[in-house]
Structure 1
Amino acid sequence: MTQMHDLPAHRLAAMVRSRELSPREITEHVLARTERHDPGYGAYITVIAEKALEQAQYAEKRVMSDTPESLPPLLGVPVPIKDLDLLAGVRATYGSRVLADNTAPIDSDTVARLRAAGAVFPGKTNTPEFGSSCYTENDVAPPARNPWNPELSPGGSSGGAAVAVAAGLAPVAHASDGGGSIRIPASVCGLFGLKPTRGRISGAPVKPDLVGLSTSGPLTRHVADAALMLDTMSGNLPGDYYTAPPLPPGETFADHVRREPGRLRIGHYAHTGSAGLPVHPDVLAAHESTLRLLADLGHEVEEIPEPGDAHFGGTFSDDFAVIWAAMASATPVPAEREPELGELNRWLRERARALPVPEYIAACARLQRGVRSWMAATEPYDAVVTPVLAQPPVPVGYFAGDGPEEEFRRMTAFTPFTSVFNVTGQPSMSVPLHHAPDGAPIGSMVTGRMGGEPLLLSLAAQLERARPWADRVPPVWHD
C-alpha cells in the first residue's frame, strides 16, 4: 500500500491543490516519522514542529480560499533547510558548538524563495562544522547515519539533508555544495542530487564565497522534484558576484524533465591521474555499467583525460586546499572561542591565517587558467561522466581521530572527482543508478556545460525511466 512518504513532492503539491491531501496531514506525517526515526539517524540539528504546523495551517487556509491556479508550486510540501542557511527565528548553528545558541534574524534568499513558494519547514538538517568536511559529525548533534546501514556515514556536508530524504522524513531537502556536498551524500544514500551552475542560485545575504565554489541545490528521490526545487530556488539579487545564463522566457526546468535529450556526445574518465589515488573495484564496475547504459540509450561515449593532469598543471589539489582553508576561515568566530572549534576547522583556519595574500591570488589564478583549459577541451562534449567518489560508503568515524592533516588526506582520497566542478562552476549531478554487492548505493556523476541544467535534467529523466530507482529504498522506509 502506498504511504504518504512514498509520494514525490510534485505529486504531493498537486494533491494539495486538488484538496486530496491537506498540508497539515502531510506535515503531521513527516513530523511523526521524524520523531520516531531521527534519534537513530541524526538527520536534524533542530526540529521546529510547532512552527511547521503553523505553516501547514496557513497553507490549508490558502487552499480553501484561493483558486488552484493561484496557489504557489510547493504549497504544503515539507522542505528541511540545511543548517548552513538562515531560517528566520530559528537557530543557525552551522554545525558548530560555538554558534549553538545563534538565532537567524532573517531568511537567506534561497529560504525566502522556498517560503514564497509555500514550502513548510520542519527543521534544520545536520551538517559538519561550517560545512568543512565530507562527512556529517559535529559537537552539536549526534552523527548523521546512513539509512541503508546506520554503521555507515551518509557523507557530507549535506549529510542530514540526505538522511531526511532517504529515510522518508521529508520528500525533498534543501542542500548546498562547495566541494561535492550535494553529490557525495546523494551517491552514498541512493538519491538524486544536483549542484547547479555557479550563479544560478543567489547566496545572499551573507555567504562570503568570492571564488564561487558553493551553491544551494536540491536533494531528491525523483528528477522531477529536483527540477521543481530548482525552478523555485533560482534567481539573483543585486550585488551577486555571479549570475548564470537564464532560461528562455516562459521556460522552466520542469519542462525539460518531459523532453528527450537527443543523441549526446559524452566524455568520461574514472582515474585520478598523477594523484595516483585508488578507485574501488565496485566504483569502477558502477562507472562501466553507467557507460553501457548510456551507449544502449544511443549516446556516443568516449574516454577523455582526467582534468587535474591535462589542464591544471598537476597543482589542482594543492590550489584547491588553499581555497578551502580560506573558506573555512570566513565564518566569524570570536578569538576567545576559537579553541572550541573542531580540530579540522582550527587547523584550516590556522593555515588560512598563515597564508600570504600573494599565494592565495596565485592559487586562484592557476585554478582559473585550468578552468579555461578544461572548458576549451571539453566543449565538444554535451556531458562528462565520472564516478562521484573513489570508494563506496565508509563507516561513521572513518575520517577523524588521527589528526587534521590525516583527516584532510582521507577526505581527499575519498572525494577526488567532485571538487573540480565547483572550481569550474559547471552544473553537476549524482544519479543513483547502482548498488554495491553489499547493497550500499553508488552514484554516477554527470556534469554539463555552464548553464546546462536543462540538458542534465532531461538526461537524468531518461536514465530514471531506463533504470528506475525510486522504489529501491532502505529498510527504515517501511517502518
Structure 2
Amino acid sequence: MLHDLTALEQGDAVRTGDVSPLELVEHYAGRADRVGAFITPTHEQARDHARRLTEQGRPADAGPLWGVPTGIKDLHPTAGVRTTFGSAAYDDHVPDASDDLVLTVEAAGMPSLGKTSTPEFGSPCYTEPDVAPPAVTPWDPTRTAGGSSGGAAAAVAAGLLPVAPGSDGGGSIRTPASCCGLVGLKPTRGRISGAPNYGDPTGLATPGTLGRTVRDTAALLDVLAGRRVGDPYWAPAPSGSFLDACDREPGRLRVARFITPVIAETDVHAASVAAWEGASRLLASLGHDVEDVPVPIPLEATAAFETCWSVLTALSPVPPGREDRLRPLTRWLAGLGRAVSGPEFALAIGRMRRHAAAALAALAPYDVVLTPTLARPPALVGELRDDADPARDFARQKEFTPWTSAWNVTGMPAVSLPLHWTDDGLPIGVMLAARPAEEELLLAVAAQVEAAAPWVDRRPPGW
C-alpha cells in the first residue's frame, strides 16, 4: 500500500513516475479518519493542487517531497478554507489570506488534505476541541494523541498523511510524537519564520515537523526552514540540507542526561524511566559519553513561563459576542494574562531569558541532552481536561509534560524519538536536545539512533 512507504519513498515514486501526485491524494483521501485527525478536510482542493502539479510538471529545483500530500494545523490561516483555531468561537471563520507556512508548503508542491485538529488556540497538551472529536492515538483510541499538534500526529501515525507540520510553544510537537509513536522535531528559535503575523513576542513558539522517520522529519524541515524579510530574529543557515545531515556520522558526543521534572513536582512512570534508561544504554553502546547532570532550569522558572503563557492566551482575539463559546481553560488563562501589567510581562520575559542563559551556559560543554519526553504513557481522553477546575487542568498538563517546555525557554532544538513501547503496546518517547542552531548534529545522532533501533515497521492496529 502507498501509505506503507515513507514520505521520502513516496516522493521518489513521484519523481520516477511510478505514482502521480493525484494518485497519492486519492489514496489518502480514501482512508477513513478514525482518530480525529482533521477538523476540516480539503480533499477537493488537494485534488486540484495535485492536477496543477501534474500539468505544470516537476520543477528542476523540486525537493524530495514534491507531490507528497500533507495537512495544515488549524492554527495556520488558510485562504478560502475554514480555520477555527480549535475554537467554537471561530467555527465559521474563513480567512482571506494564508500565512507564510501555508504558502511555503503549497510552493513546495505538497497538496494539503485538510486542517489538522488542534485544541483551542493551541494551548493544552491534549487535543479535545469543541469543534471536532478528540484526536486520539491509533495505538489505543481511548487515549489522547497529545497536543497541541494532536491532529497532525494522529494523521501521520494512522497512515492518513505521510508527514505533517506542527507547532510547539511548550511541547506541542514532541508531546503528540510521544503519544503517537512518531519523530517530532521542534527546531531552533528562528529556524522557521513566523511571518507575517509574528504573534508570539516571547519567542517560545515555533513551527516544526512530524514524521514516521528521522529522514522524513528532516526533509520537511528543509521545506519549512528559512529566513523571511522582516523576521525579528533568525537562526544561522545550515551548512547543507537537513536531510543530508541524517547521513553524517555524529562522532563521539558528550550526552548530558537528567530525569528530574523541570516545571512540576511529579512522579515519573516506570515506562518513562525505562525508555530513558534504554536510550542512555543505546547512546553509550554507540560510543557516546553519557553523564548525569543537575537540572539546568530551576523550578522557580515555571512562574515566569506561566506568566508568559497566560499573556499569550490573552492575546488571542475573540470575535465580538462569542466570548461565551470559549472553553473554561481558555477563559481562565486569558483572565490571568489580562491581569498582568505591561511591566510585569516584560519582567517575566527577562526572568525567563536569564534562566535560559544560565541553562545554556550549564549545558554548553555537552553536545546533546537526554530526558524523557513525557512523565507517563498517553493519558485517557478527558483525563487531563477539567472544565470545572481549569487550574487543576493546567496542573495536570504540567505533570504530564514536565520537560518539554524547558527547550522552548532556551530556544534549543529538540526531538522526540519513539524508542520504547509499554507491554500493552503504548508508545513512549525520549527527547534529545542540542545547542541552539545545531539541528544538523541533532538529526545526525537521531538518525544514528534510528539505524541502531529502527521503529518504522511498528504500525498501530488498523494500519
TM-score norm. by structure 1 comes to 0.94
Match runs of 1:242-253 below 5 Å: 242-248=233-239, 251-253=240-242
The residue that corresponds to 1:394 in the other structure is 379
Post-superposition Cα deviations, 1:231-283, rounded to whole Å, max 9, x if no partner, equal 110112222222012113xx211111111111100000001269431111111
- Which residue does the alignment assign to 1:452? 438
Query: Structure 1 residue 51 and structure 2 residue 45: aligned?
Result: yes
Helix, strand or coil at the partner of 1:230: helix
Q: Which has the higher helix share?
A: 1
2:26 maps to 1:28: yes
SS in 2 for 1:80: strand
Q: Which 4+ stretches in 1 moved above 6 angstroms?
A: none
Q: TM-score, normalised by structure 2?
A: 0.97
**Aligned equivalents of 2:248 and 2:77: distance in 1?**
35
1:254 aligns with 2:211: no
Looking at structure 2, the residues matched to 139 and 214 of structure 1 have their Cα atoms a distance apart, in angstroms, of 23
Q: Which residue of 1 aligns with 2:359?
A: 374
> Which segment drifts farther, 411-420 or 52-61?
52-61
1:300-449 equivalences in 2 (<5 Å): 300-309=289-298, 314-401=299-386, 402-449=388-435
Q: Which residue of 2 aligns with 1:162?
A: 153
SS at match of 2:204: coil
In structure 2, what is the Cα distance between the partners aligned to 1:71 and 1:94? 31
1:221 equivalenced with 2:204 (yes/no): no
Give the SS at the match of 1:266: strand
Per the alignment, in what secondary structure is the counterpart of residue 323 of structure 2?
helix
Instruction: Tell me, yes or no, if structure 1 residue 212 matches structure 2 residue 198.
Output: no
Q: Which residue identity lines up with residue 11 of structure 2 in the other structure?
A: A
| Structure 2 Cα separation of the partners of residues 375 and 276 of structure 1 | 22
Distance 1:79 1:288 in 2: 34
Alignment partners' CA distance in 1, 2:447 and 2:113: 28
Any conservation in 2 of the 1:137–1:144 contact (CA below 8 Å)? yes
CA distance in 1, matches of 2:190, 2:351: 21
Aligned to 2:147, the other structure's residue is in SS state coil
Q: What are the ranges of 5 or more consecutive residues in structure 1 without an aligned counterpart?
A: none
What secondary structure sits across from 1:421 in the alignment? Answer: helix
Q: How far does the alpha carbon of each residue in 1:370-394 deviate from its partner, in whole angstroms, 9 at most, with x for none?
A: 1111111110000000001111111
The equivalent position to 1:466 in structure 2, one of 437, 452, 455, is: 452
1:144 aligns with 2:126: no
Pairwise CA distance, 1:357: 2.2
C-alpha deviation, 1:164, in angstroms: 0.3
Question: What is the aligned partner in structure 2 of residue 42 from structure 1?
Answer: 36
1:99 and 2:51 matched: no
In structure 2, what is the Cα distance between the partners aligned to 1:124 and 1:134? 18
User: Residue 115 of structure 1: which of 90, 95, 106 is its match?
Assistant: 106
Q: Which amino acid aligns with 1:47?
A: P
Per-residue CA distance 1:183-220 (angstroms, 9 max, x = gap): 00001100001000000001111241011111111100
Q: 1:174-213 alignment to 2 at 5 Å?
A: 174-213=165-204
- Structure 2 unaligned spans of 5+: none
Going from structure 1 to structure 2, the CA distance change for 1:322 and 1:261 (only over 3 Å counts) comes to: same
Q: Is the 8 A contact 1:400 1:407 kept in 2?
A: yes
Shift of 1:358: 2.4
- Which one of 117, 120, 135 corresponds to residue 126 of structure 2? 135
Give how far 1:8 is off. 1.0
Percent identity (aligned) = 49
Which residue does the alignment assign to 1:61? Answer: 55
Find the aligned partners of 1:192 and 1:182 in 2 and give their Cα distance: 9
Amino acid of the structure 2 residue aligned with 1:27: V
Residues in 1 aligned to 2:308 and 2:392: alpha-carbon distance in whole angstroms: 18
Alpha-carbon distance in structure 1 between the residues aligned to 2:443 and 2:146: 23
